[in-house]
Amino acid sequence: MKNEQHLILDSKFAQSLTNIIAAELSQNIIICDHHGVIIAAFDKKRISQAHEGAANMLKSGIIREFSISAEDEKVLKNVRRGYDVPIVVDGRCLGVIGVTGDADKVALYARLAARFVEATVESNSRQQRLVEALKDKEELQSILLNKMIEVQEEERKKISRELHDEISQSLTSVIVGLRMLSEQVGDSRERKLILEMRDLVSKTLDNAHRLAVELRPALLDDLGLVAAAQRYIENYSQKYGITADINFSNLSRERFRPEIEITLYRILQETLTNIAKHARATNVKVTLNKTRRKVNFSITDNGVGFMPEALRASPASNNLGIYGMRERVALLAGTFTIQSAGGAGTTITVVIPLKDKRDIPSTPKAQ
């Protein structure tokens, strides 16, 4: 049924074909729909009239070519002397095309005109099917990618919990045990070795905490994007010595849909990591604001920047982080842009529409 919708004779489309064929043949042309109603004609006055000859043929159920004689022209309504040929595509009769004139002289032209219309309809139908197939493929890819991201985030959350709850508790117990053991050992050399071991375990505990936060910060689920982002940026500044200016436009208590929050948080992580690795920046500016219909997020650094042409020319495998960010934003029907120039820093901007009812505050009703 879906494919059959492509096999139609739209009136505008039929009229354009009529004008082309009439100009080529220097003959009057009509095209009727599958009911025998004229939908296109070189003589515009005939449009919307029922062509009785075509209607009779179509009603008979026997799809065939037929001629209109001078006698028929007198008896039948809205017909002119000439030759008419059914337009058949994929076994379906879509209508009739007629050429005015002596039947013997114009029959060949009518057949050629019908083949031209059929070929054009088939081409359009094939193109439309390809467009729909591509659209279906893109939708399926989006569904699969979205599912992959969901599974990935769930796995990150699970591992983060295990690191925080199980491994961290075990390491904490080891640290306490080592401290108590050091107090019971009389030999100073052995006590020193135990304390060094305790310090090593303590560093491992810190690394486990850091890894748990990077995988999936509890703040993100408990308090939302703003709190988690602020904590991440503060730790980032301390670790890399890069100052940060944060402008979250009084959104301290704002919550977004989980998919928006995790997308923006992952973009923050990926971008700040890239800045630390490549930009040689001393300052970053992170901005988040919300309007009624969209959320705007941007990260700007004062680093060395790059030429956009170099990014486009580099292999895709070198830009997986950027590709991943683009894909995440695309799944939310948003836009992702990068602005940069050599020596002028880089700005990444994300705009995500707030289409869901949960994102858009309701207007208070008048009392």
What is the rounded CA–CA span in Å between residue 8 and residue 10? 6
Asked whether residue 11 is domain-assigned, the answer is yes
Q: How many domains does the chain have?
A: 2
In this structure, the answer to whether residues 234 and 129 fall within a common structural domain is no
In which residue are the tokens 């031209």 written? 116
Domain stop point among 75, 105, 137: 137
Same domain flag for 338 and 228:
yes
- Whether residue 133 lies inside any domain: the answer is yes
Report yes or no on 248 lying in a domain. Answer: yes
The strand pair at 294-301 and 82-89 is best described as unpaired
Let me know whether 128 and 10 are in one domain.
yes
> Does 266 reside within a domain?
yes
Residue-wise pLDDT tens for the chain (367 aa)?
444 555 678 788 888 888 888 887 777 889 999 999 999 998 888 899 999 999 999 999 999 999 999 999 999 999 999 999 999 998 889 999 999 999 998 999 899 889 988 888 888 888 888 888 888 887 777 677 777 777 777 787 788 777 777 787 888 888 888 888 888 887 888 888 988 998 998 888 888 877 877 777 888 888 899 999 999 999 999 999 999 999 998 787 788 998 999 999 999 999 999 999 889 999 999 999 998 889 999 999 999 988 777 666 666 556 677 888 888 898 889 999 999 888 889 999 999 998 755 554 444 444 3
As a residue count, the chain comes to 367
Residues 13, 119 within the same domain? yes
pLDDT at 294: 93
Query: Could you tell me whether strands 92-100 and 82-89 are parallel, antiparallel, or unpaired per DSSP bridges?
Result: antiparallel
- Which domain, by its residues, includes 112? 4-137
* pLDDT at res. 362: 43
Three-state SS letters, the chain: CCCHHHCCCCHHHHHHHHHHHHHHHCCCEEEECCCCEEEEECCHHHCCCECHHHHHHHHHCCCCCEEECHHHHHHCCCCCCEEEEEEEECCEEEEEEEEECCHHHHHHHHHHHHHHHHHHHHHHHHHHHHHHHHHHHHHHHHHHHHHHHHHHHHHHHHHHHHHHHHHHHHHHHHHHHHHHHHHHCCCHHHHHHHHHHHHHHHHHHHHHHHHHHHHCCHHHHHCCHHHHHHHHHHHHHHHHCCEEEEECCCCCCCCCCHHHHHHHHHHHHHHHHHHHHHHCCCEEEEEEEECCCEEEEEEEECCCCCCHHHHHHCCHHHHHHHHHHHHHHHHCCCEEEEEECCCCCEEEEEEEECCCCCCCCCCCCCC
Q: Which of 112, 137, 162 is the endpoint of a domain?
A: 137
* Structural domain includes residue 192: no
Q: What is the CATH number of the domain that holds 337?
A: 3.30.565.10
Domain limit, last residue, from 116, 137, 158 = 137
Say how far apart CA 272 and CA 298 lie, in whole Å: 12
Instruction: Answer yes or no: pTM beyond 0.75.
Output: no
